[in-house]
Amino acid sequence: MNRLIVGNWKHNPVTLADALTLAKAEAAIAVPEGTTVVVCPPEAYLEPIREACPDLILGSQDVSALPQGPFTGETGGDIIKNLGVTYAIIGHSERRAMGETDEDVAAKIMAAVATGLTPIVCIGEDAETKALGEEAVKTHLQAQLGSIQEQGDVIIAYEPIWAIGTGNADDPANAATTAKWIAEYLGYLGMKARVLYGGSTTPDNAAAFLADPAIGGLLVGGSSLDATKFAGIVNA
Ligand code: PGA
């Protein structure tokens, strides 16, 4: 079974020395056949980690939708790609909470693809939407999936917001049902989706999520900050 395990370090750690230690430990994980491991450190660490761990597959946590030019503080896909980065997380709920819209996400996906980065597009409902029931969740996810205009292969991370960083992971069977629905919906639009699950994954629950082929991998937050835990997930 072909799996993609993505570590999202978010805004951690705060020193380059700690980042290099973590990256080296994760680069040393024995990865089973058929599994691909991607590490997404803060942007400032991409280059030194690239130098220290040439074989580690890297992703960014965001990408600017803006082209090269007078845009202070932006980092575009071209810069990221030229550092030897392969993937870009786009539309994480933590960025959406800072004001990123579906339109922004759509523009970032286009910008990433144009530079040759592979987007990992995050979608997921909050607790209030979940409480409204399955139809409300589907309507919400459909609106978020509307940002994806690509044809062909896409990677979606289904991350229910109420499960992120809470220790309250989704029920694996429920996550698999949602993943299947997302793939079918995108299939109807002409896309072939790999759907990852994210939200409080641990070495203890990872195998249950990966047991259903509808879930093509995991987007791992907190557990990716500990190389032993991350290795446990990679080998789940
Ligand atoms: P978590 O984060 O594993 O810490 O819940 C997942 C994510 O936000 O990508």
Q: Tell me, what's the pLDDT at 32?
A: 97
Judge residue 151's burial from the number of C-beta atoms within 10 Å of its C-beta, 0-12 exposed, 13-18 middle, 19 or more buried: exposed
The pLDDT value given to residue 46:
98
Among residues 47, 74, 92, 150, which one is catalytic?
92
Nearest atom of ligand 1 to the alpha carbon of 223: 3
43, 109, 135, 148 from 112: Cα distances, Å: 15, 5, 31, 12
Residue ID of nearest Cα to ligand 1 atom 9: 221
Output the CA 101–ligand 1 centroid distance in Å. Answer: 20
Query: 128 by DSSP, 3-state: which?
Result: helix
User: Mapping DSSP to helix (H, G, I), strand (E, B) and coil, where does residue 206 land?
Assistant: helix
Position of tokens 């249950």? 208
Q: Is 11 an annotated catalytic residue? A: no
Expressed in angstroms and rounded, the spacing between residue 70 Cα and the centre of ligand 1 is 33
Q: Is 43 designated active site?
A: no
User: pLDDT at position 1, please?
Assistant: 55
Give the pLDDT score at 38. Answer: 98
Q: Please state the pTM of the whole predicted model.
A: 0.97
The pLDDT value given to residue 149: 81
Given 134, 140, 159, 184, the catalytic residue: 159
Cis peptide before 172 (omega within 30 of 0): no
pLDDT at 106: 95
Q: How far apart are CA 222 and CA 192, in angstroms?
A: 29
Cα–ligand 1 centroid distance for 31 (angstroms)? 21
In angstroms, how far is CA 4 from the centroid of its own chain? 10
Query: Which residues of the chain fall short of a pLDDT of 50?
Result: none
What pLDDT shows up at residue 153?
87
